[in-house]
Amino acid sequence: MNEKAVVIETPGGAEQLKLVDVEVGSPGPGEIRIRHHACGLNYIDVYHRNGAYALPLPARLGMEGAGVVEAVGAGVTHLQPGDRAAYASQPPGAYATARVMPAKAVLKLPDAIDFETGAAMMLKGLTVQYLLRRTLPQEGLKPGDFVVFHAAAGGVGLIACQWARALGLQLIATAGSDEKCALALAHGAAHAINYRHEADFAARVRDITGGRGVKVVYDSVGADTWEGSLNCLAPFGLMVSFGAASGAVPPLNIGALAAKGSLYVTRPTLFTHIATREATQAMGDDLFSMVASGQVKVRIDKRYALADATQAHRDLEARVLTGSAVLLP
């Protein structure tokens, strides 16, 4: 069966993305075939395209999508043909009209959640789930606690602002413009810092917290915010580095963690957390509950045709997108 998919033959800029005809066969054991109604757009896709995260070539891109299950392979019991479904999953390949893929990370999509929302929320929403629910400082997080969340006006950030508010946390958002800061505040952030106006955002965090600092910083920016993030932390605080949009974090002088207050550092990934079907289902159920209840609304600010993936990547890298964006087959 001939379908369309976005592929790269060599790593590089957005111009390397090509929409080509591909053959989509039948699912094997433990696999499904899904027809996409929408595909998610995430910064990890840029890392795959530019070679920062190397893939065997030629490579297909895209880590999340939503659509209808067309066929299931042997051993798949939690899905059946005709099911509405959504996923965030390895291997890449979501930028496609249809694909065959492992079934273990694919979940039934509740009827209350439409396909575009499903495609826009799985990788981002499951990321927020493992951050705020599973990647916690030494004594956990309680209502009233302060946390710092960088890039808070992006797709992950806006979900985090809402989820943190639902947990009673005081989220201190950072973003690169006044408009983005206002967006974060409108979605539940307790405070917002424009780091282009206030380069020493850590000093502002100290002011907000009465000099104490925060229990945890969630940082997907990387090089540009690393040192400042460490300076935001209270003693025994946790530095969570889960991305590097501005470039790789520099080599760590571990002695600095002692000097700054016996700090903790971790570099988690979503795919460690969703390595089993049981874990994926539990995390997905938590996410679906938050979205279905209205406590988390997934903001989709941009829709692109699948053929316009090149422009989507250019916009993503230029940091002009807020909220989430989707590709439509």
State the Cα–Cα distance between residues 197 and 171, nearest whole angstrom: 19
Kindly state the tokens that stand for 295.
């406590």
Domain boundaries, the chain: 2-124+271-328, 136-267
- Mean pLDDT on 106-111: 96
What does the pLDDT read at residue 155?
A: 87
Position 324 scores a pLDDT of: 85
Residue 39 has pLDDT above 80, yes or no: yes
* pLDDT (tens digit per residue) in 178-229: 999 999 999 999 999 998 888 799 999 999 999 999 999 999 988 888 999 9
At residue 2, does pLDDT exceed 80?
A: no
Q: Do domains 2-124+271-328 and 136-267 have the same CATH topology?
A: no
Could you count the other beta carbons within 10 Å of the beta carbon of residue 230?
Answer: 21
Percent of the chain with pLDDT over 90: 86
β-bridge partners, 98: 35
Mean predicted lDDT score pLDDT of the chain: 94
Q: Does the domain formed by 2-124+271-328 have CATH 3.90.180.10?
A: yes
Please tell me the predicted confidence (pLDDT) of residue 1.
Answer: 67
- CA distances in angstroms from 162 to 96, 125, 146, 169, 287, listed in the order given: 30, 11, 14, 10, 12
> Tens digits of per-residue pLDDT, 133-172?
999 999 999 999 999 999 999 889 999 999 999 999 999 9
Percent helix, strand, coil in the chain (nearest 5)? 30, 30, 40
Quote the pLDDT of residue 249.
86
DSSP state of 96: B
pTM: 0.91
| Cα–Cα distance measured from residue 115 to residue 26, given in angstroms and rounded to the nearest whole number | 23
Q: 248 pLDDT exceeds 90?
A: no
CATH 3.40.50.720 given to domain 136-267: yes
Whether 123 has a pLDDT exceeding 80, the answer reads: yes
